[in-house]
Chains A and B, each alone.
Chain A
């Protein structure tokens, strides 16, 4: 790759001015996507802007009962943070399975969002956790829901000079739980063929679904919600049959492509299977089940 300017500003203002300073500027957080793409020539940069020294980028702080997650906080800190494990387990699930430990040591949820790969594992998790993306730019600050951040493969809502600084996770709700599962041919070090996140809140009886959300990975140009699948559950019993039916509905939200990682039909089928499984996991957690991530993706159900 050709050489470039490396900048590691220590203030947001400096970062913004570098972003606006001209030339092709690429943002470096974990670098796990950027560097391979620069090496294979698919991305060219005049300036690489390392945002990890910008204040707040690596912080996890409590805000109003919720959590503010710096955009560059690496997955290994997300997966090990008891506050996240307890309150946002779908995010922990996703953080634990991106690449291997070495990748998790660098890659971040913010980077996952900005990279805007349809197969990003944490994006569906952020969507069902109702995370907001805090964006800072020359015009000031704005909040965008995680579900609306990616617009197409490799494209986001970020405008010129804007930077994703943090993810705002709302206060967790009572009797709620979440889960992310994905399907890969290996058990680690792979890209999702399909993925599904779910969030479920149960009624006080602990058996009826009070509210639900479902989001899918790798079956559409961006991570997408499957609201019909979620709505189908509300007011009904939290049973395997209901989750399976929701999975069938979720398939309709899938618009997968065929590529080297899997045929479209198979991906659509997987979407249904994974939604069923992820709903069961989320409901179990809502009912007080373990929030510890399950190590083997393989037998997860």
Chain B
């Protein structure tokens, strides 16, 4: 591994790429303009709300004003009588499903819960829970009609705090949810839907053997994915029974599957057309609007579009779990020897938070031979939580990485050195039993250690620097690709992965590399569920890895077919035809470029189409290390991030600019999580800040430039060495910033967000303690 200079093709160099110098690619590693770029900078790209259909009706959703209430009755007659109102829908219009699971690839979900989340059945479980919906001739009319729907509620006590929800006497959300402990079920219904235990070695004995043990408690608030595009769905239920849905989704096929499941209709009757998607981060995998728009369309015979309001997004869609985490680590002879962790994550209104990932991630960066991890998934009267970029990992890493920093300080060891001494490597066993394949954590740590930022002087007495590491699993799953060869030597690439951040191009570049043609010679397009093979969600950092693999395999298929054709043209055997770097070679020195052979195809039997469908294995893991400088205004408690560097193992960066973009974007989301983002609930369980004014996501003025270092430890399970990139970068920031705040102030903050009043209070408290100590 050597440091190589940045890509000379660009005139700026935010990232240094540390790569294996022996790997040479023509297309991979370059920075072409993305194929869908022009449409997106001129405002022509069609997002979900840009869909126009003749006779289109507009929907609006009525949401529960109570955090927990029995729905006694719904009277929509007055609303239905209003001019312009065409239909009203409630849960009575959806099939009443009892427990009925569907496997979405990454996760199985309970369709009964999904349906009841789309439209509340019997009970409203959180403030903002959808209760009814209206379709009308305009969005204004639809919204006005909501106030004419009479809903009688019997208000029930609510619980939003995860620890309170675990109490025996807490308000119970579901009478049919029991605590599952790896297949065995509790006797009585409970808000605790899942209890997990992982263990390796002998933690009890090991802790007794340690020279130094630190146990700490942490809390994090619920935070939202914060995508800028409002969720929107348009449905047209045709008289022949075919349902077409224009969706803003991370996965058109899983959307199709969920729609069919919730509506109890054949999957083949549903066609999902994915529009351009304005951000998801895990929050646009689950359905909210699609079945509702569908039943309104069925009732009216017209297409119906529903777009959420921003308040509806905050109050009705998935934040990521708030958490309570306790982490203890023990050191013996300078090495991590024992670990214990207790995690409770709120799942929101229905079971299924991110506790499994939280438990498996909490110690995942380190080789800790003896560890015990206990986790709880807890229902509470909040919106059902959904995945948010490395779901479950950030909460856990905030705790562990802070304790690691404290241990390093107590031992007088540099915090990166301490991490290097204890880093997980190939062969390390994670607490869930998994043994790591080739991973790049050590290389990533070393690159951070070498980075100029790490040793740069700090500016002023209120400045501090912190580091933290992060881990994410990454997933593989199923992807498909079709490739049509054009006579001009270009190819059309048809895929099903919705493109949230430039993945059309990163996939097209892999096909281009395979075919020996330029990135611009590949024309990628994302198509609907009728037009391409099954493809799982754009999530889990899987698309460049798995859909890239599908494109590569489709490319290999095309080359095989073209070698057959060259053999036909040249009158030789296929095995006599070679293919190397975009050139087909035959006997007697004959050769044709890819374009040359493509031009021959129409007259030699016709143009060719290739395809591949893969169930990708071996996504391997992503590791990142972040360095944060902060400045703490001691008088106000405000923490400013003044410099930030992200270092990450990308396996192989296909399009470095978009890899950097993932690292930068994830880091800034993590900075928001660390400093200011939070759901603020009042005592009734109502979110007090459901606007983008008061739910404070970082603005351009709140963050510095985000430096990036891409480390490349190729993934042996991918033809180009790709590892997932997208999620890991959100994991380290809260801990890196907390560690930096400690460096600046001597204070350990263990509650997120580290908002100004909270930091100020801690400073005041520390001052008071100091005074008391002095006396």
Question: CB–CB under 8 A between A and B in the complex?
Answer: yes
Report which A residues bind B (CB closer than 8 A). 1-3, 40, 100, 183, 185-191, 193, 260-263, 266, 269-270, 273, 295-296, 298-299
Q: Among residues 757 to 774 in chain B, which have CB atoms less than 8 Å away from a CB atom of chain A?
A: 757, 760-761
List of B residues within 8 angstroms of A299 by Cβ:
631, 633, 640
A205 to B141, CA, bound (A): 68
Interface assignment of B699: CB less than 8 Å from any CB of chain A: yes
In the docked arrangement, what's the CA distance between A273 and B763, Å? 15
Q: For the complex, give the distance between the alpha carbons of A40 and B636 in Å.
A: 32
Contacts of B757 in A (CB 8 A): 262-263, 266
> What residues of B have a CB within 8 angstroms of the CB of A100 in the complex?
699
Interface size class of B (residues with CB under 8 A): 20 to 34
The answer on a CB contact under 8 Å between B701 and A269 is: no
The answer on a CB contact under 8 Å between A187 and B694 is no
Tell me the B677-728 residues at the A interface (CB within 8 Å): 680, 688-689, 693-694, 696, 698-699, 701-702
15 A-B residue contacts at CB 8 Å?
A: A1-B144, A185-B675, A185-B696, A186-B698, A187-B699, A188-B702, A189-B693, A190-B696, A191-B693, A193-B756, A263-B757, A266-B761, A295-B701, A298-B633, A298-B640
Across the interface, A186 reaches (CB within 8 A) one of B140, B676, B680, B761, namely B676
Q: Kindly supply a per-residue 1/0 record for chain B positions 238-274, scoring 1 wherever the CB is within 8 Å of any chain A CB and 0 otherwise.
A: 0000000000000000000000000000000000000
Q: Do residues A260 and B693 form an inter-chain contact, with CB atoms below 8 A?
A: no
> Closest chain A residue to B691 by CB distance?
A36
Across the interface, which residues of A come within 8 angstroms of B284, CB to CB?
Answer: none
Query: Do residues B696 and A270 form an inter-chain contact, with CB atoms below 8 A?
Result: no
> Distance (Å) between the CB of A243 and the closest chain B CB?
13
B760-A189 in contact (CB<8A): no
Q: Is the CB of B638 within 8 A of A298?
A: yes
What sequence of 0s and 1s flags, for each residue 636-665 of chain B, a beta carbon within 8 Å of any chain A beta carbon?
Answer: 101010000000000000000000000000
Q: How far is the CA of A299 from the CA of B635 in the complex (A)?
A: 11
- B140:A1 contact, CB within 8 angstroms: yes
Q: Is B755 an interface residue (CB 8 A)?
A: yes
CB distance from B378 to the nearest CB of A (A): 24
Number of A-B contacts (CB under 8 A): 59
B635 — nearest CB in chain A belongs to which residue? A273
Chain B residues near A273: list those with CB within 8 A.
635-636
Instruction: Identify A190's interface contact among B633, B675, B693, CB under 8 A.
Output: B693
CB atoms of A186 and B702 under 8 A apart: yes
Q: Give A266 to B759 CA distance when docked, in angstroms.
A: 11
Task: State the 10 A-B residue pairs at the shortest beta-carbon distance, nearest first.
Answer: A187-B701, A260-B688, A273-B635, A266-B757, A188-B701, A185-B676, A260-B680, A186-B696, A187-B702, A298-B640
Interface flags, B718-757, vs A, CB<8A=1, else 0: 0000000000000000000000000000000000000111
Contact indicator A188/B144 (Cβ below 8 Å): no
Identify the closest chain A residue to B703 (Cβ).
A187
Name which residue of chain A comes closest to B311, CB basis: A40
Taking a contact as CB atoms under 8 Å apart, the answer to whether A189 and B699 are in contact is: yes
Whole-angstrom distance between the alpha carbons of A262 and B637 in the complex? 12
Q: Which residues of A contact B635 (CB under 8 A)?
A: 273
| Most chain A CB neighbours (cut-off 10 Å) among B140, B638, B688, B755 | B638
A270→B701 contact, CB < 8 A: no
Contacting residues, chain B, for A1 (C-beta < 8 A): 140, 143-144
Known: A2-B140, A190-B693. 15 other contacts (CB 8 A): A2-B144, A40-B311, A100-B699, A185-B638, A185-B756, A186-B676, A190-B696, A191-B693, A191-B694, A266-B760, A269-B760, A298-B633, A298-B638, A299-B631, A299-B640
Per a CB cutoff under 8 Å, which of B140, B311, B701, B755 touches A185? B755
Given contacts A260-B680, A266-B760, contact A188 B699 (CB under 8 A): yes
- B689: A residues at CB distance < 8 A: 260
CA distance A261 to B757 in the complex (A): 10
Q: How far is the CB of B397 from chain A (nearest CB, A)?
A: 23
User: Taking each of B144, B640, B760, B761, which has the highest tally of chain A beta carbons within 10 Å of its own beta carbon?
Assistant: B760
Across-interface contacts of B755 in A (CB, < 8 A): 185
Instruction: With both chains docked as a complex, state the minimum distance between the C-beta of B84 and any C-beta of chain A, in angstroms.
Output: 12
Q: Are A261 and B636 in contact (CB under 8 A)?
A: no
Inter-subunit contact A260/B636 (CB<8 Å): no
Bound Cα distance A2, B141 (Å): 8
Known: A183-B638, A269-B760. A261 touches B698 (CB 8 A): no
Name which residue of chain A comes closest to B757, CB basis.
A266
Q: Which of A186, A191, A266 contacts B701 (CB 8 A)?
A: A186
Residue from B144, B680, B701, B761 in contact with A296 in the complex, judged by beta carbons closer than 8 Å? B701
A187 to B638 alpha-carbon distance, docked (Å)? 10
CB-defined contacts of B756 to chain A, threshold 8 Å: 183, 185, 193, 266
- Report the separation of the CA atoms of residues A261 and B680 in the bound assembly, to the nearest whole angstrom: 10
Q: B117-176: which residues lie under 8 A (CB-CB) from chain A?
A: 140, 143-144
Minimum Cβ distance to chain A for residue B688 (Å): 4
CA of A299 to CA of B143, assembled, Å? 44
| Smallest beta-carbon distance A261→chain B, Å | 7
Q: Provide the bound-state CA to CA distance between A263 and B756, in Å.
A: 11
B713 to chain A, nearest CB (A): 37
Select one of A40, A260, A263, A295 contacting B694, CB under 8 A: A260
| CB closest chain-A residue, reference B760 | A266
Most buried by A among B143, B633, B701: B701
In the complex formed, the residue of B with least CB distance to A3 is: B140
A100 to B702, CA, bound (A): 13
Interchain nearest-CB distance for B512 vs A (Å): 40
The docked-state distance in angstroms from the alpha carbon of A295 to that of B143 is 40
Q: Which residues of B contact A262 (CB under 8 A)?
A: 757
Residues 74-122 of B at the A interface (beta carbon under 8 Å): none
Most chain A CB neighbours (cut-off 10 Å) among B140, B640, B693: B693
Interface string of B171-207 (1 = CB under 8 A from A): 0000000000000000000000000000000000000
- In this complex, the member of B636, B638, B689, B755 whose beta carbon has the largest number of chain A beta carbons within 10 angstroms is B636
CB of A258, distance to nearest CB on chain B (Å):
10
| Interchain CA distance A200-B638 in the complex, whole Å | 27
| In the complex, residue of chain B having the shortest beta-carbon distance to the beta carbon of A297 | B701
**Distance between Cα atoms of A295 and B698 in the complex (Å):** 16
Give the docked Cα–Cα distance between A117 and B228 (Å): 28
